[in-house]
Structure 1
Amino acid sequence: MRYLLAIVLAIGIALGLGGWSAKLAIDGGTNFDTVQLGPWVASPLIGTQDADPYARARLAKLAQLTLGGGEGIMFQAEEDDAGRRLRLECSYLLSGSTPAARFFTVSAHSDTGLVDLPQRGRPGWLTSNALLRGEDNGFTIAVGPSARAGNWLATDGSGPYRLTFALYDTPASAITGAAGLAMPSITRQECRTDG
């Protein structure tokens, strides 16, 4: 009986530690094939058969679709250029030049999904075909809870979130890599205080 109890205890500890370590790897964002450009991070192999299992599990948990190897590449940022965590109660300025892509989207995601504001008629994303651009083909996007003139990506609430910059039909795909690609900067403007 003592031997059987020791076996059950050992199996319980092994399953518990295994489940805990898998959850830590999925929630912690451990990717084995990442490319980082400033605060922007991408996993070029995520939409291919060569993707690591933790990245696949993370995407399944977030219910996000992936881009195939030749379709494009998706970058995500959880911090601004100064290394501070992105917060829904703060305003940010994204500025840069239009990347080499046929089409791109910029969206805001919290841990529960897309930051969508249907009650105000503002989606939680912008598309490249609707952006105002400068003479040099560059763009500036205001991201935050307060309405801004020009390109504005509306967010609301409080807590951390991440920005997603998806490039479609681009030479910077999983097949060619993201070498030489310039991503927009993320600069914190101000944060609202409640109280």
Structure 2
Amino acid sequence: MRFVFYLLLMIAVALGVGFGLSYYALTDGRLFGVAQVGPWAAWPDVGANAPNPYTRGHLARTAAFELGQSEGLQFTATSDSDGQPLTRDCSYRILGKTPLATFWTLVAQDEAGLNIAAPDVAAAIRSSAIARAEDGSIIINVGTDLLPLNWLELSGEGPFKLVLTLYDTAAFSGFSSDASMPSIIRGACV
């Protein structure tokens, strides 16, 4: 009887560890194919002809329509540059430069992937429609309260993520020496 108990316990532990590591690899994936640059994360193999098994699992799990490798790359941030989770109770400032790209968009989404931009405003910030600093860097304010300069107005409450999509980019392909990503600085919180 003791043998059966230990056998069932070992099977339960093996299944728990196996499913737990699989879930981690397909959601967070930092050790299995995700490129992490500050608070921004991207799956660079997502549009490849033959992506690695973890990227294929991630694609199957999210069931999202992704860009091909030659079309662009999507970065997602769920925390600020200090590692604090993004929440609509606070305002944020996105500072710095983006990797070389023909065009880019910045969108705020809730946990389900729905756009949370305020009604009657632009649903995304576009690279072609922002004012830049003298050195070409971007300064974008994100939050529910009115902020100066470039502003992505949010609605609702709770956590959110920022999605920066670079179109026609050479990031991670070896052709771009500019691997910098903008930082996300937390401002005032309610």
Question: Is residue 55 of structure 1 aligned with residue 55 of structure 2?
Answer: yes
Aligned to 1:191: 189
**Structure 1 vs Structure 2: percent identity of aligned residues?**
38
For 1:30-88, what per-residue CA distance to the aligned partner results, in whole angstroms no more than 9, with x for missing partners? 66222221111112111113323443444455453222122222111111111111112
Residue 175 and residue 137 in structure 1: after superposition, are their counterparts in 2 closer, same or farther (change >3 A)? Answer: closer
Equivalent position amino acid for 2:136 in 1? N
The residue correspondences of 1:1-195 to structure 2 (distance < 5 A) are: 22-23=22-23, 25-29=25-29, 32-117=32-117, 120-172=119-171, 175-176=173-174, 180-192=178-190
Structure 2 stretches lacking a partner, 5+ long: 1-7
Aligned residues: 184
TM-score, normalised to structure 1, is 0.76
Q: Distance in 2 between matches of 1:55 and 1:31?
A: 12
CA deviation after TM superposition for structure 1 residue 92, in Å: 0.5
For 1:73-125, what per-residue CA distance to the aligned partner results, in whole angstroms no more than 9, with x for missing partners? 2111111111111112221100112531110111112221132346x212442
Structure 1 stretches lacking a partner, 5+ long: 1-8
Secondary structure of the corresponding residue to residue 148 of structure 1: coil
* Over 6 Å off, 4+ runs: 13-21
Aligned to 1:5: none
Q: How big is the alpha-carbon RMSD for the aligned residues of Structure 1 and Structure 2?
A: 3.0
CA deviation after TM superposition for structure 1 residue 20, in Å: 6.9
CA deviation after TM superposition for structure 1 residue 160, in Å: 2.1
